[in-house]
Structure 1
């Protein structure tokens, strides 16, 4: 049972990570799915996506929930029936969920060289100056994760990563930072934390109030 890691952010917020080592059939046999989830699973064309979906349900069961406790709103945002906040992310070999008493967002991304090539499309590339190639990949991936996490929290149509979400300068050894969402004439500040799990960047964000 490859439950991989629990990361405690604070006394009301924790991240749970599952390393996907099982095949589809093994995962499928171990989870209970409501009809709508089964239909969603069957519609997925990629076995990798199916396994990530099932691994999220394995995580829910690991911490005392089931698929029947999880539902999605009209915008596709996940919720738990007991009122706890949940955010979900999976990528290739890992699935992760964040459980909190406050609204949060999580993103898990594999580290790939391509992120540096596309960085000008979503971030201020000056934040990569002076870094070696490995650290450029790490930092660009973290910044993507920051913007993805904030987008999951806000979940509003029209938000653009390069035009509306701005990260303040930070260093990789800080493991945390600040970003702003400037959208619809409103400025909101978010704090974020990150760490690296094998060849992945794991990022979570919270709104500063």
Structure 2
């Protein structure tokens, strides 16, 4: 049985599934609708098949019933016949979902992922300078990447430039798991409340909009 965890929050639920089973085992455990059968046929690689199945089995586990995921043209996921919002993320080890009444975002990344070659493409120069002066620069780069991915998903916007439009405020990871960020888009400054936690060799970051401070 894979590791499944359900975290209840004030503004929603986070679900975690460890991708440890074969695609065949997951297929045996899942009841496909006709639409899901057609979707699943498109996935040739086992990795993508496992992500697809684990996501839906995780949702069934934490919601207590089978719930289909549908996608808008922008690839934003929705729960069929539900007013709840959902955000989904995968790493090589885990599937994570965040379900909320509010717009929400979640991202999971392996802490050993090498993102040095793309840091200037997703970090503002001020963010990069602060991170490089830290004694935990590697983990901070991963947290900042995940934070920006989570904000991007929560915003439902497209064409966002991570280095120019999303800014993460400095925080001390030794002292707090709570931090904040801002998206500048369409003449608005949208602020976000973010949290992170470590899951084995992965970082999970999730967020909702800080409506009190957004303009």
CA distance in 2, matches of 1:190, 1:157: 17
Separation in 1, partners of 2:67, 2:13: 19
Mean Cα deviation higher: 179-188 or 41-50: 41-50
Counterpart residue number, 2:150: 149
Any unmatched runs of 5+ in structure 1?
Answer: none
Aligned residue number for residue 159 of structure 2: 158
Q: Deviations over 1:73-106 (max 9, x none)?
A: 2322112222111111111111111111211001
Give the structure-2-normalised TM-score: 0.88
Contact (CA 8 Å) 1:32, 1:67: kept in 2 or not? Answer: no
- For residues 137 and 56 of structure 1, the distance between their equivalents in structure 2, rounded to whole angstroms, comes to 28
Q: How does 1:112-131 map to 2 (within 5 A)?
A: 112-123=112-123, 124-131=127-134
Which residue of 194, 201, 215 corresponds with 1:192?
194
Structure 1 residue aligned with 2:5 = 5
Distance in 1 between the 2:165 and 2:33 partners? 37
Count of residue pairs the alignment pairs up: 205
Cα distance change on mapping 1:38 and 1:136 into 2, 3 Å: farther
Q: Deviations over 1:46-95 (max 9, x none)?
A: 21121111111110111213243x32223221122221111111111111
Cα 1:42–1:136 shift into 2, 3 Å: farther
RMSD: 1.6
Contact 1:105–1:206 under 8 Å retained in 2: yes
Instruction: State how 1:46-125 maps to structure 2 within 5 Å.
Output: 46-63=45-62, 64-68=64-68, 70-80=69-79, 81-123=81-123, 124-125=127-128
Structure 2 residue runs without a partner (length 5+): none
